[in-house]
Amino acid sequence: MDASTVSLLLLFGVAAVPFVPTEVALIGMGVAAAERDASLAPAIVVAVAGCLLCDYVLYEVGRRGGATALARMSGRPRVGTGVRWIEQHAGRRPMAVLVVARWLPAGGTVGSLLAGSLRWPRSVFLPASATGVTLWCTYTATLGYLGGRLFAEPLVSFAASGLVALLLTVAVSTVAQPRSPGSA
């Protein structure tokens, strides 16, 4: 097996396991693709497949007892914020909420568990998950690729891309912060 195949297999493994930082692996793959002048498509396809598998397993876990898992996770402040935002908006626009949730800390995990625990039909969950995962993986890998193109040093490329991803996540989390009824 060559290094590219091993890297893609590792990426799939990282993407398929909940709570493992897929962002780091995808940004790294984007930087590597920029350095080699290679296509991002294989990394994006593999990451999408791994994330979809993870989402579907979490959805099924949610259908069989996700309320307990969500209650445990909600105790963590950043995750709790995501849970509250998703719960607050899921009734009105479930598909859009699941797509946007990808950009919240632990949003993909929480969104999939919540969709399962709320017994969303698979016909709603799967297209929303596929859309959100595809957009998020493309965005994340592209950040790495752009960093790799902008900076000659791989470590600087990776750090700059990671910083941009972190800042965008903080911005989305801040905007998605649930508001109390009396706040402006």
Distance CA 128, CA 150 (A): 33
Q: What are the structure tokens assigned to 77, written together?
A: 């402040």
* pTM as predicted: 0.80
Output the pLDDT for position 172: 61
What lies within 8 Å, CB to CB, of 85 at 6+ separation is 101, 104, 176, 177, 178
Domain range annotation of the chain: 3-175
Query: 65 in the Ramachandran plot: left (φ > 0), alpha (ψ -120 to 50) or beta?
Result: left
**Per residue of the chain (184 residues), what is the pLDDT tens digit?**
788 889 999 999 999 998 788 888 898 899 889 989 999 999 999 999 999 999 999 999 999 887 777 777 666 666 666 677 777 777 777 788 888 888 777 788 888 988 898 888 999 999 999 999 999 999 999 988 988 888 777 777 777 777 777 777 666 656 655 555 444 4
Distance CA 7, CA 9 (A): 5
Residue ranges of E strands in 126-175: none
Q: 35 near 149, Cβ under 8 Å?
A: no
Output the pLDDT for position 173: 58
Amino acid letter at 106?
A
Distance CA 57, CA 85 (A): 22
Amino acid letter at 125?
F
